Amino acid sequence: MAVPRELQSAIAPQAYPASAVLAAVGLLALGLGWSWPALGALGLALANLAFFRNPSRVIPQGDRQVVSPADGRVVEVTKLDDPDEFVGPAWRIAIFLSVFDVHINRAPFSGRVRAVRRRGGRFLAAFRSDASEHNVQLRLDLEGPDGTRIGVSQITGLIARRIVCHASEGGTLERGEPYGLICYGSRAEVYLPIRSEIAVRPGDRVRGGATILAEVPA
């Protein structure tokens, strides 16, 4: 997939409307002599820009390595009997993104997008384990050149309710390639073959496109 222009910039363009409004309010308050409201509005404008930052990353080059799809903290490493993306057991690695984390999502593995599925209807707090089942989410089913299948999900949270995804069924993604984002705190999950060697555990901090989560079997 050709990386969309909006995911090539240092700040995703979704930041600009809200930041522009906050900056205008801050400047107006400053002109009226309301120092503290002005500083608050201008501070929020800058914080919003920082939220949508898109730093460059050095992508690991190993063909069997699966990288994190997002920045955040690993909250779950679980064996599942039969998740939607696989026939048979699989690993699920869940990552919680706070409002302070980078929210650009990256492909965990190189492959063809076999399917794009939208599911769920609730907006529970993203750190809750049941958010995996109930929250609004978008799941990609990736298939590598050798048939290895990897699932990756963008999951909304209590505040984060907007998913941006530029991947499409039949397209391809390269490991570490930016493909979307979730606005204002969220959750990302990766589904892996059960024979994968897991490299992280709950509590670990990870960086999208840079941290190796696992190595899949050849």
Let me know: does 129 contact 168? Beta carbons within 8 Å: no
Share of the chain above pLDDT 90, in %: 45
pLDDT for 93 equals 96
Q: How far apart are CA 48 and CA 70, in angstroms?
A: 18
Does 2.70.70.10 match the CATH number of domain 65-215?
A: yes
Average pLDDT on 199-210 reads: 96
pLDDT for 153 equals 92
Query: Which tokens in the block code for residue 146?
Result: 């050798």
**5 band by pLDDT with thresholds 50, 70 and 90:** low
Let me know: does 92 contact 45? Beta carbons within 8 Å: no
To 5 degrees, how large is the angle CA 181–CA 185–CA 190?
60
pLDDT digits (tens, 9 = 90+) for 18-41: 889 988 988 998 888 888 988 988
Element (H, E) at 179: strand 178-182
End-to-end Cα, the chain, rounded Å: 24
Task: Give yes or no for residue 60 having a pLDDT over 80.
Answer: yes
Task: Please report, for the chain, the start and end positions of each structural domain, with discontinuous segments joined by +.
Answer: 5-51, 65-215
Lowest mean pLDDT among 27-36, 62-71, 106-115: 27-36
Q: How far apart are CA 209 and CA 58, in angstroms?
A: 7
Which position has the higher pLDDT, 12 or 76? 76
pLDDT digits (tens, 9 = 90+) for 69-104: 999 999 999 998 876 666 578 999 999 998 889 889
Please name every residue paired with 180 in a beta bridge, in sequence order, or none if there are none.
105, 165
Average pLDDT on 122-128 reads: 76
Which position has the higher pLDDT, 162 or 112? 112
> Which positions ≥6 away from 100 have C-beta within 8 Å?
none
Q: What pTM did the predictor assign? A: 0.86
Nearest to 202 by CA among 66, 86, 94: 94
Task: Give yes or no for residue 145 having a pLDDT over 80.
Answer: yes
Q: Which of 19, 132, 153, 186 is catalytic?
A: 186
pLDDT for 103 equals 87
Let me know: does 154 contact 105? Beta carbons within 8 Å: yes
Which position has the higher pLDDT, 199 or 159? 199
pLDDT for 160 equals 65
186 counts as catalytic: yes
SS3 190: strand
Average pLDDT on 106-132 reads: 85
Average pLDDT on 198-206 reads: 97
